[in-house]
Amino acid sequence: MEYILEMTNINKSFSGVQVLNDINFKLKKGEIHALLGANGAGKSTLIKILSGAHLKDSGTIKINGKVVNITNPVEAKNLGVQCIYQELSLIPDLTIAQNIFIGKEELNGIFLNHEIMNKKAKELMNDLEIDVDIKTKVRDLGIGHQFFTEICRCLIGNASIVIMDEPTSAMSPIEYKQFLKTIRLLRNRDISIIYISHHLDEIFDFCDSITILRNGFNQLSTTVASVNKRTVIEEMVGEDVSDYLEREYLGEFGNVKPILKVENVSTDKLKDVSFTVKTGEIFGVTGLLGAGKTELGNVLFGVDRFIKGKITFDGHEFSHDSIQDRIDMGIGLVPEDRKISGLFQEFSIKNNVSLLNLNLFKTLNLFINRKKEAEFSDRFAKDLNVKFNNLNDKVRFLSGGNQQKVVLAKWISKNLKLLILDEPTRGIDVGSKEEIYSLIRKLAREGLTIIVMSSEVPEVIALSERILVLHNGQSKGILNGDDATESDILTLTTEGDN
C-alpha cells in the first residue's frame, strides 16, 4: 500500500545529547498508526520535527513520495500535516466557528464574513455527527467538544496527516464514545492519523499499526493485531514487567484509628460527603469527570473552603486554615495539573524539589547554603529515579513522568502524615506508572496515609483498601477494594441520583 509519509534515518540532538538515532517511521494512507514509548523515548521530538517545531539534524522526510524539507509549522500545514497537542491551542473567548477559521478567515471585502464561517463550521460539525451550537464560546465547552473543534480546524486546513497527542486524557465516557466515532470517520475519509497515547486499551481498540521508540531508537514497528499488551509494555520499558495493576496486601486496617474524618462536608460542588481514612491506608476516590474528586482534594488541602460539615485531621478540627497551615499539619497535595499547579516550570529540578524545605539550608537565617540544597534535592530526585542530565536543568525540559516524580519528591521530602494524589498517573507512560504505584505502596507500608483520586478505575482498585465513589459531588458508596469490580464502580458512577 502507498505510504503517505516516510521518515528515514531521522537524527536529532540537543546540547550534545542524542535524542533520536536513525529513526524510521512510515504511515499509510487512511491508517491510524500508534506511536508509543516511555517518557523520554523521543516521540515528542519526532512529532515536532514532522510538524515543523524542530529541525532534524539529518535524515529524509517524504510526503506522498516527494522529499520535503520542513523548517517551520506553516510549511508543515501547507504539506497537509496538522498537530493536535494535549494542551489544546484554542482561544477561550472566541466561538467554535471563530476558532475553526483562525488563519483561514472568510472575508466579505475587508470585513469578516461571520455568516459564511458559521455556516461552514456547522456543516463540518454535522459531517462529524457532532450536535453543538457553533456560536458557543470555547471556554463553555467540555474537553470533547474542544477536541472536535480542533479536528474541524484540521479539516479546514485540508489536512491529510493528523497527529493526535493524548487526545482522550480528560474526556468523559460519553465524549470518548463520540471520539471513537469521529476518529473512524476520519480514517474512512483516507485521513492518516499518528496517535500518541499512554492508554494501551485505546491502541488495541482502534489503531491499525504501532511503532515503539525506546531511548531514541526504533524498537518495534508492526501491526496492532500481531502483538499483545504485555509485549508492547515490555518493548517500551525494555524489561519483563510484572502485573503492576495486581493488588498487594498492605496490612489489616480493621482496628487502626482514623487519622482523617470528613463529616457531611458541602461546598458549591460537594454535597454532604462523609468518610474516614485510617493511618497508613491507601484510600481511593473515583468518579467521572466533574464528579468532585479535585474539589474534594482542594477542600482537604485548604485551597477551597467548605460551607457546611466538619473535617478532623489527627485530632485537629479544621476551621478555615490556610494552605500553609495544612502543610504544617503534615498534609500535601499532588495536583491534577502538575505543569501549572504542581511545579515552577522555569525553576530548576533542584529548586522544585527543595522548595518546601528551604529553612533547612539557611545560614544565619538569611542565606541559602546552595551546596546543602543541591545534596538534598539530588538525594530525593535519585531516590525517585528522576532521569535528568543536570540538577540545575529547568523542570520543563523533563518528560511528563519525570515531572511527576519531581512533584512527588518535593512532597515526600517534607515528612508528611497525609498525601493527596489527584490523577497521579495521567499522561505518563506505563514504565513510570509502575514506578509510581510501587512508590505509593512503599510509602503506605512506611506509615504514610495516602488518598488516591483517579478516574482510572483499574488503578483505584489495584491500589486502594477502600474506595469512595462520587457522582455530581455526592457520595454514591464506599466499596472494599478487595471485592470491588470495575462494573460495581461504573454502575455507581453512572446511576446519577436514582
Per-residue pLDDT of the chain (498 residues; tens, 9 = 90+): 589 999 999 999 987 778 999 999 999 999 999 999 876 788 989 999 999 999 999 999 999 999 999 999 999 999 999 998 877 788 999 999 999 998 888 888 888 888 999 999 999 899 888 889 999 999 888 778 888 899 898 888 889 999 998 888 767 777 888 888 889 989 988 999 999 987 788 899 899 999 999 889 999 999 999 998 888 878 887 766 555 556 555 555 556 789 999 999 999 889 999 999 999 999 999 987 678 898 999 999 988 889 999 999 999 898 777 888 899 899 999 888 777 778 888 888 888 888 877 777 777 667 777 888 888 888 888 887 787 878 888 888 887 778 888 888 888 888 899 999 998 887 777 777 888 888 899 889 888 999 999 988 888 998 999 999 998 899 999 999 888 887 788 778 765 443
Which helix (H) or strand (E) segment holds residue 477: the answer is strand 474-480
Residues 262 and 210 in one domain: no
Phi and psi at 262, nearest 5°, equal: -115, 120
**Residues contacting 227, CB < 8 A, separation 6+:** 210, 220
Evaluate whether residue 250 is within a structural domain. Answer: no
Evaluate whether residue 246 is within a structural domain. Answer: no
Phi and psi at 300, nearest 5°, equal: -65, -30
pLDDT of residue 497: 42
pLDDT of residue 247: 59
Evaluate whether residue 298 is within a structural domain. Answer: yes
- Beta strand 107-108 pairing with 111-112: antiparallel
Residue type, 27: L
Residues 223 and 106 in one domain: yes
Q: Given 205, 237, 269, which residue is the final one in a domain?
A: 237
Evaluate whether residue 248 is within a structural domain. Answer: no
Domain containing 354 — which CATH number? 3.40.50.300
Strand segments, DSSP code E, in 51-158 are 58-63, 66-68, 81-84, 107-108, 111-112
Evaluate whether residue 355 is within a structural domain. Answer: yes
Residues 218 and 272 in one domain: no
Evaluate whether residue 253 is within a structural domain. Answer: no
Within a 13 Å sphere around the CA of 235, how many CA atoms are in the beta-carbon half?
Answer: 20
Q: Given 237, 272, 303, which residue is the final one in a domain?
A: 237
Residues 270 and 233 in one domain: no
Residues 77 and 221 in one domain: yes
CB 300 within 8 A of CB 267: no
Residues 72 and 201 in one domain: yes
Strand segments, DSSP code E, in 192-336 are 192-196, 209-214, 217-223, 258-266, 273-278, 282-286, 308-313, 316-317, 331-334
Q: Given 173, 208, 237, which residue is the final one in a domain?
A: 237
Domain range spanning residue 436? Answer: 258-494
Q: In angstroms, rounded to a whole number, what is the distance separating the alpha carbons of residues 167 and 179?
A: 9
Q: 381 by DSSP, 3-state: which?
A: helix
pLDDT of residue 496: 47
Give the burial class of 374: count Cβ atoms within 10 A of its Cβ; 0-12 exposed, 13-18 middle, 19 or more buried. middle
Going by C-alpha positions, the residue among 85, 95, 94, 168 that lies closest to residue 125 is 95
Q: In angstroms, rounded to a whole number, what is the distance separating the alpha carbons of residues 327 and 420?
A: 12
Residues 441 and 306 in one domain: yes
Evaluate whether residue 242 is within a structural domain. Answer: no
**Residues contacting 338, CB < 8 A, separation 6+:** 400, 403, 404, 407
Q: For all residues of the chain together, what is the average pLDDT? A: 86
Count how many domains the chain has.
2
Among all chains, which residue has been given the C-alpha cell 491507601? 282
**Residues contacting 223, CB < 8 A, separation 6+:** 208, 209, 210
Q: 217 by DSSP, 3-state: which?
A: strand
Residues 118 and 175 in one domain: yes
End-to-end Cα, the chain, rounded Å: 52
Residues 290 and 196 in one domain: no
Residues 230 and 169 in one domain: yes
Evaluate whether residue 336 is within a structural domain. Answer: yes
Residue type, 279: T
Q: What is the pLDDT of residues 255-307, one digit of tens each?
A: 678 999 999 999 988 999 999 999 999 999 998 767 889 899 999 998 888 99
Residues 309 and 396 in one domain: yes
Going by C-alpha positions, the residue among 230, 297, 234 that lies closest to residue 267 is 297
Q: What is the pLDDT of residues 105-159, one digit of tens each?
A: 888 888 888 899 999 999 989 988 888 999 999 988 877 888 889 989 888 888 9
Q: 137 by DSSP, 3-state: which?
A: strand
Residues 155 and 304 in one domain: no
The region, left, alpha or beta by phi > 0 then psi within -120 to 50, assigned to residue 284 is beta
